[in-house]
Amino acid sequence: MISTAITDLYYGFGVALEPHNLMYCFLGVLVGNLVGVLPGMGPVATISILLPLTFGMQPVPAILMLSGVYYGAQYGGAICSILLNLPCHPPHAVTCLDGFPLTKQGKGGTALGITIIAAFVGASFGITEMIFLAPFLVKMALEFGPAEVCSLMLVGLLAGSTLAKGSPLKGIAMTVLGLLVGIVGSDIETGQPRFTFGITELFDGVEIVALALGMFGIAEFMNSINNTESVDMKYAKVGISDMFPSKADLKLAFWPMIRGTVLGSLCALIPGTGPTIASFVSYATEKKISKTPERFGHGAIEGVACPEASTHSSVQGDFIPTMSLGIPGDTVMALLLGALIIHGIVPGPQLISQHADIFWGLIASFWIGNILLVILNVPMIGLWVKLLSIPYRYLYPSAMFFVCIGVYAANNDMFQVGETLFIGVIGYILLRLDFHPAPILLGFVLGPRFEENFRRSLLISRGDLTTFIDRPISAFFLFICVVLITAQIYVWLRKPKIFTEEKAIEAQVPRTAYSEVAE
Amino acid sequence: MLEKFTLKRDYYAGGLMLLLGVGAAVTGSGYKFGTLARMGPGFMPVMLGVVLAFMGLLIAGTALASSEPDDAKFMPDNPQWFGWFCIIAGPILFIILGEYGGMIPAVFACVFVCALGDKTATYKSSAILAFGVTVFGVLLFHYFLGIPFPLLRGVNL
């Protein structure tokens, strides 16, 4: 099995190193790094803007580029947290706690250097995990019938809505709302238009780009307009020579890095627990097992290394369920899955065998992209730091332009721009009511496939609902659903100690308007 | 006892979900429902609508049951009516001017109006930004990516 994986990987490098693909991979990580640095721009909005522009491209470079934006943004996000104390990207919020004190002590460069090393270690482990685990999962998933797919999707939806931030009830409500939005359009079997209200443009359904840009673009700008603190650049002076950590720092950071990596990769495997949760869990763990917990929060290098490693390993691991099972773990993955569908690729266990070029090319491009990012970040750190000082008042109007033209370019249709605006206003109202928009996208992307499989499995069983319990794999997934719900009720009633500790850490993180929606 | 019934934000949240759920279920019941074995197009909308309405009740219900005061308000502390207006007006202008004028006026107006929404913005700073973005946008989207969107309708550029 190892030898086939290595041959496949070799093939993947062949795909990823084709000049055309390599160029788009580079473009992706560059744009990703850029938006990661800019406060107030997230990978979700960026990928949605870029998505329509990939419609004319081959699927392989398109997916390489869009994925590059996602992991590239993780490298940039850390810079913002460490140098400015601005958690504009939720996965890096916890890095502020020790990163910014280090910057104040004049060790910001060291923290950034450690971050890059931790990122590379974490990402490498996540990729390796994907190489060996994904084909294994596929072998299992090929046995799945519609009933199993249905139950698995239910696990994904439930985990995605209850494990994310905020109230689990509201998460579930948002998922259901997303499923309903996914229903808009013509019914796949009968062609009956549903929830279209007589608007012809809606017969093809709601455009995924419009939904994502409304929820994560316009709603976010409405939330942060005139609501952002001015950026304090006092400490943000870093040169290349500051970035090489001393031997003592490396020694301190080594084990936290490894532990963070392992925790992050575990979090990636549970659907719904993305990089943000991974970073919080690993920080809490590291603080707990440390011999000197009092140093945390005052510039402990471990407090930077551990969450960063776990974020990156979780980001790469996130691709595993998405690519092998077709079940996305978070918003970005839902968006990438949408991109695959638009490019005519059916996500699911067949993907690896039918589109080996995409799967192995993607994995190989992760290595290449991560190496490119290390190269980009070390010598160009001065440029990234300069970008940090671009004020929000220039950023959001430019971003609004990209939103409008991006949505227009998706179908060359002005109606979509109006649709985005409408969704954006609704999104802002939902945001004010303390709903998190991420599960909507998850429900929206999975909705049509969920309905199709649900209908098909009941058609096969002649309307007998016990088919979901009779089949052992399906029953196992439903059992996980029950466990998830029970755990939520337990947490709600008893409020166990671990959660209060995690809440305490969360409360220490500085809050900005950006961090509410960005992911 | 009475303070339990002071309005909390979650009452609105639950109420909105209830409304949306009932709305979806009622609209969905207009489509053919079918049976479990042969589901019609109305089956999922009705089921999901009912679940959403139920979630709405639960959200409002837990807010009622919890004794913790909820001081979070629906409106933010300093409502930005003008800012919101500008952000909404930008895309509307983009649609109208894009439909009748072309890409250049649409982009310029959209960025200009959006930029005005910031407290510190002036007409001059917004115009400079809008000009810059328009030049960049035309170069990137019209000449480099070639999206079908005439620069100025009626004028051959």
CB contact under 8 A, A408 and B98: yes
Are B59 and A400 in contact (CB < 8 Å)? no
Share of chain A above pLDDT 90, in %: 6
- CA A210 – CA A424 distance, rounded (Å): 9
Instruction: Give B114's contacts in chain A (Cβ within 8 Å).
Output: 396-397, 400-401
**DSSP code of A242?**
G
In this prediction, residues B93-106 reach a mean pLDDT of 88
- DSSP state, residue B145: S
Note whether B117 contacts A226, CB cutoff 8 Å: yes
Cβ atoms of residues A286 and A256 within 8 Å? yes
Confidence grade of residue A516 (pLDDT, cut at 50, 70, 90): very low
Top pLDDT among B45 and A501 is at: B45
Residue type, A21: N
The answer to whether A198 contacts chain B (CB < 8 Å) is no
Per-residue confidence (pLDDT) for residue B79, from 0 to 100: 77
Contact between chains at A412 and B120 (C-beta distance less than 8 A):
no
Q: Which of B65, B97, B114 is the last residue of a domain?
A: B65
**Cβ–Cβ of A435/B41 closer than 8 Å?**
no
Could B12 and A195 be called an inter-chain contact, meaning their C-beta atoms sit closer than 8 Å?
no
Most confident of A2-6, A51-55, A402-406: A402-406
Whether B107 and B60 share a structural domain: no
Residue of B nearest to A433 (CA): B13
Task: Name the token pair of A126.
Answer: 């996540």
- In the prediction, which pLDDT does A202 show? 82
Give the count of domains, chain B: 2
What is the pLDDT, as a whole number, of residue A489?
A: 83
* Last residue within a domain, chosen from B40, B65, B90: B65
**Distance between B87 CA and the closest CA of chain A, angstroms:** 7
Instruction: Reply yes or no on whether the pLDDT at B81 is more than 80.
Output: yes
Q: What is the pLDDT of residues A96-125, one digit of tens each?
A: 888 888 888 888 888 888 888 888 888 888
Angle at alpha carbon of residue B68, lines to A167 and A437, rounded to 5° = 20
pLDDT at A234: 67
Residues in chain B: 157
A209 and A51 Cβ atoms separated by less than 8 Å: yes
pLDDT number for residue B92: 92
Closest B-chain CA to A167 = B59
Residues in B closer than 8 angstroms to A433, CB to CB, are 9-10, 12-13, 16, 74
Q: Which of residues 452-491 of A touch B (CB under 8 A)?
A: 454-455, 458-459, 461-465
The strand pairing partners of B152, in sequence order, are B155
Burial classification of residue A332, based on how many CB atoms lie within 10 Å of its CB (0-12 exposed, 13-18 middle, 19 or more buried): buried
Could you read off the pLDDT of A228-269 as tens digits, one per residue?
A: 666 666 666 777 777 777 888 888 888 888 888 988 888 887
Query: How is residue A114 written in tokens?
Result: 């450690």
Mean of the pLDDT values across residues B55-66? Answer: 84
DSSP state of B42: T
Within 8 A by CB and 6+ apart from B58, the residues are A169, B14
pLDDT in tens, A180-208: 998 888 887 787 888 888 788 888 888 88
Q: What is the pLDDT of residues B12-41, one digit of tens each?
A: 888 899 999 999 999 888 888 888 778 888
Asked if the Cβ–Cβ distance from B90 to A458 is below 8 Å, we say no
A277 inside 8 A of chain B by CB: no
Query: What pLDDT score does A3 carry?
Result: 76
In a domain, residue B52? The reply is yes
| pLDDT tens per residue across span A153-190 | 888 888 877 766 678 888 899 999 999 998 888 887 78
- Report the residue of B47, B85, B113, B147 to disrupt the A interface, i.e. the one with the largest count of A CBs within 10 Å: B147
Q: Show the domain range for B56.
A: 2-65
- % of residues, chain A, pLDDT over 70: 91
Tokens encoding A203: 């017969």
B145 contacts on A by Cβ (under 8 Å): 53, 409
Please give the pLDDT value at position A108. Answer: 81
Band (pLDDT 50/70/90 cuts) for residue A272 is low
The domain limits of chain A are: 2-516
- The token pair that represents A185 in the structure block: 């359009």
Asked whether residue B150 is assigned to any structural domain, the reply reads no
pLDDT of residue A497: 65
At A342, the pLDDT band (50, 70, 90 cuts) reads confident
* Alpha helices (H) along A390-517: 392-411, 414-432, 438-460, 467-470, 472-494, 497-508
Model pLDDT, residue A518: 42
Which residues lie below 8 Å from residue A333, measured CB to CB, with a gap of 6+?
A318, A319, A321, A322
Instruction: List phi, psi (to 5°) of B152.
Output: -135, 120
Residue A420: per-residue pLDDT: 92
CB contact under 8 A, A463 and B118: no
Q: What is the pLDDT of residue A168?
A: 83
pLDDT at A496 (0 to 100): 65
Q: Write down the pTM of the prediction.
A: 0.85
How high is the pLDDT of residue B18?
Answer: 92
Q: Who wins on pLDDT, A389 or B131?
A: B131
The answer to whether position B154 is within a domain reads: no
Residue with tokens 């089949």: A471
Using CB atoms within 10 Å of the CB of residue A289, give its burial: 0 to 12 exposed, 13 to 18 middle, 19+ buried: exposed
Specify whether B57 is located in the same domain as B89: no
In angstroms, what CA-CA distances link A207 with A42, A187, A193, A517, B66? Answer: 20, 16, 15, 20, 39
CA atoms of A123 and A126, how far apart (whole Å): 5
Q: What is the mean pLDDT of chain A?
A: 83
Q: Kindly report the nearest CA distance between residue B2 and chain A, in angstroms.
A: 23
Mean pLDDT, rounded, for A482-486: 87
**Cβ-defined contact of B147 to A434 (cutoff 8 Å):** no
Main-chain dihedrals φ then ψ at residue A394, nearest 5 degrees: -90, -25
Q: Does A203 touch chain B (CB under 8 A)?
A: no
Q: Smallest CA–CA separation between A422 and chain B, in Å?
A: 9
